[in-house]
């Protein structure tokens, strides 16, 4: 969250929506306010998901396991359609999202996902480098990190507040009154985070995007979202922190890891000789209670440390840019190189997507749908192709189950609401011009 708010670089993919409002707030001197808003929203999301995990784990796990490829594809379609509502220009937004999906498909159709292992969307000489496609982390760091540096370099750092510095303070101060009227947003976003966390493999970024776009759709006033509205940070941070508890549900009840973190946890359980699955809770009551206590304690500790010391922790941002930016590029190299245990092409990916991100912003492409499309593209392909391979008919996407029908309703409502809001905003703008 800290780099997302202060540097416009998401520390994890699920913090991506935090940058939409966090960074604009930091730019106008409300960095501390944005961070504290995020911290409070995070602890709410974390504790909410811990409570859901504790009270409803068996019931919710039963529900999530009913999701087949069809419903998983529709969940992704829902996430992708709602991102169109994030964009100032819907056509460019949809184009950017589809371009993101297209970029994610470069590489081979993975055998581990049930594909045939054949390469596509590249020339033969690229196969050595792109056999597994572009790695997510270097792409993210490139588009958000390096392109931000290039944009600043182009301006000669002239437009940065305080000449080369982003102010942590100076604007409006944090107060708990920010959360007045945000209870619905908190509960809905935490619920979305917990629910998406339970769906194996859908991932944290889908949760925060879904929560953010639903807040944009359903809040009374979403006109400031994307320009520095605390409600955007509340939606993003409560949902992405709620993932932690949600992702543990399929792990502890079915033995299926919900995300990469729980995939590592399953390894830790294996090392301890504990079998994770339907019998886990009954056979390991002590461990089960300990995990719940640890989850709550981790959230409380995070809150205590971050809330009271954020001013000092975030001081890093007051370092002059001529000192900070070279170090950011250096650490970006570390992240990109280490993610796949030492592949130099991942470092070049950083540069490729840094320049691409810069050009994309210049020609009016929407970076956020592009990234979301990239993150969800591969999963969308697997779920779509496997659904058709299994059922052989396109109507299955509508008729598979009541859940599928419900997801179509959500998609339709989301799109209709986005169009309604757009028309309403246009009318308001037109009437204010007349006045």
Partner 1 sequence: MDSHWLSLFDVTIDFSQSHLFFPRIVTTLLGILLVMILVTRYRRIVPAMRHAGRVVGGREGNFDRKRFFGTLVLVTLYFYLMGVLSDVFPNTGYSFLIMSVLFVFSLSLLYAERLSRRILLIITLNALIAPAIAWYVLAQLFRITLP
* Residues at the contact surface with partner 1, assessed by CB under 8 A: 91-92, 94-95, 98-99, 101-102, 105, 108-109, 115-121, 146, 149-150, 153-158, 163-164, 321-323, 325-327, 329-331, 333-334, 337-338, 341-342, 344, 347-348, 350-351, 354-355, 362-363, 377, 380-381, 384-385, 388-389, 392-395
Q: What's CA 233's distance to the chain center, in Å?
A: 12
Write the DSSP assignment of 133-198 as a string of letters. ---HHHHHIIIIIIHHHHHHHHTTTTTSTTTT---SSSSSPP-GGGGTT-HHHHHHHHHHHHHHHH
SS3 221: coil
How many C-beta atoms lie closer than 10 Å to residue 155's C-beta?
A: 10
Q: Which is nearer to partner 1, 195 or 374 (CB)?
A: 374
Q: Which is nearer to partner 1, 54 or 157 (CB)?
A: 157
Q: Which is nearer to partner 1, 158 or 433 (CB)?
A: 158
**Minimum distance of partner 1 from residue 253's CB (angstroms):** 31
**Minimum distance of partner 1 from residue 121's CB (angstroms):** 6
Query: Nearest to residue 411, comparing CAs of 188, 54, 79, 71?
Result: 79
**Minimum distance of partner 1 from residue 381's CB (angstroms):** 4
**Minimum distance of partner 1 from residue 39's CB (angstroms):** 26
Q: Which is nearer to partner 1, 30 or 381 (CB)?
A: 381
Q: Which is nearer to partner 1, 392 or 402 (CB)?
A: 392
Q: Which is nearer to partner 1, 56 or 391 (CB)?
A: 391
Distances (CA, A) of 16 to 99, 126, 230, 240: 18, 29, 15, 10
Residues in the chain: 435
Cα end-to-end distance, the chain, whole Å? 41
**Minimum distance of partner 1 from residue 433's CB (angstroms):** 21
How many C-beta atoms lie closer than 10 Å to residue 428's C-beta?
A: 11
**Minimum distance of partner 1 from residue 70's CB (angstroms):** 14
Write the DSSP assignment of 258-280 as a string of letters. SSHHHHHHHHHHHHTTPPPSTTH
Q: Which is nearer to partner 1, 150 or 172 (CB)?
A: 150
The pair of three-digit structure tokens given for residue 253, joined into one six-digit string: 């009840």
Surface-to-core class of residue 248, CB atoms within 10 Å of its CB (0-12 exposed, 13-18 middle, 19+ buried): buried
**Minimum distance of partner 1 from residue 68's CB (angstroms):** 17
């Amino acid at each position: 969250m800290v780099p997302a708010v202060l540097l416009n670089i998401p520390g994890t993919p699920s913090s991506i929506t935090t940058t939409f409002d966090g960074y604009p707030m930091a730019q106008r001197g409300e960095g501390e306010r944005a961070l504290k808003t995020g911290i409070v929203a995070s602890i709410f999301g974390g504790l909410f998901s811990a409570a859901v995990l504790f009270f409803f784990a068996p019931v919710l796990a039963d529900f999530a396991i009913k999701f087949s490829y069809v419903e998983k594809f529709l969940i992704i379609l829902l996430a992708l359609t709602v991102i169109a509502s994030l964009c100032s220009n819907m056509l460019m937004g949809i184009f950017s999202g589809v371009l993101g999906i297209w970029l994610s498909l470069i590489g081979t159709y993975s055998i581990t996902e049930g594909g045939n292992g054949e390469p596509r969307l590249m020339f033969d000489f690229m196969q050595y480098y792109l056999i597994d496609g572009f790695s997510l982390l270097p792409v993210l760091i490139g588009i958000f990190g390096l392109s931000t540096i290039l944009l600043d370099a182009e301006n000669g750092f002239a437009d940065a507040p305080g000449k080369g510095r982003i102010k942590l303070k100076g604007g409006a101060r944090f107060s708990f009154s920010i959360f007045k009227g945000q209870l619905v947003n908190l509960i809905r976003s935490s619920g979305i985070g917990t629910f998406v966390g339970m769906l194996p493999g859908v991932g944290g970024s889908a949760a925060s995007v879904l929560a953010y776009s639903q807040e944009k759709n359903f809040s009374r006033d979403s006109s400031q979202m994307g320009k520095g509205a605390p409600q955007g940070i509340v939606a993003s941070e409560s949902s992405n922190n709620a993932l932690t508890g949600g992702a543990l549900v399929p792990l502890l009840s079915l033995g299926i890891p919900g995300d990469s973190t729980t995939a590592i946890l399953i390894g830790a359980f294996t090392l301890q000789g504990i079998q994770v699955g339907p019998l886990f809770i009954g056979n390991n009551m002590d461990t089960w209670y300990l995990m719940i206590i640890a989850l709550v304690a981790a959230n409380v500790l995070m809150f205590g440390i971050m809330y009271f010391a954020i001013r000092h922790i975030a001081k890093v941002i007051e370092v002059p840019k001529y000192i900070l930016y070279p170090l950011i590029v250096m650490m970006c190299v570390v992240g990109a190189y280490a993610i796949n245990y030492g592949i130099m092409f991942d470092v070049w990916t950083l540069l490729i997507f840094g320049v691409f991100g810069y050009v994309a912003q210049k020609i009016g492409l929407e970076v956020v749908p592009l990234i979301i499309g990239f993150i969800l593209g591969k999963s969308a392909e697997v779920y779509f192709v496997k659904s058709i391979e299994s059922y052989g008919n396109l109507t299955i996407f509508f008729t598979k189950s009541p859940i599928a029908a419900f997801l179509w309703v959500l998609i339709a409502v989301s799109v209709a609401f986005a169009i309604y809001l757009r028309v309403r905003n246009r009318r308001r703008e037109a009437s204010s011009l007349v006045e």
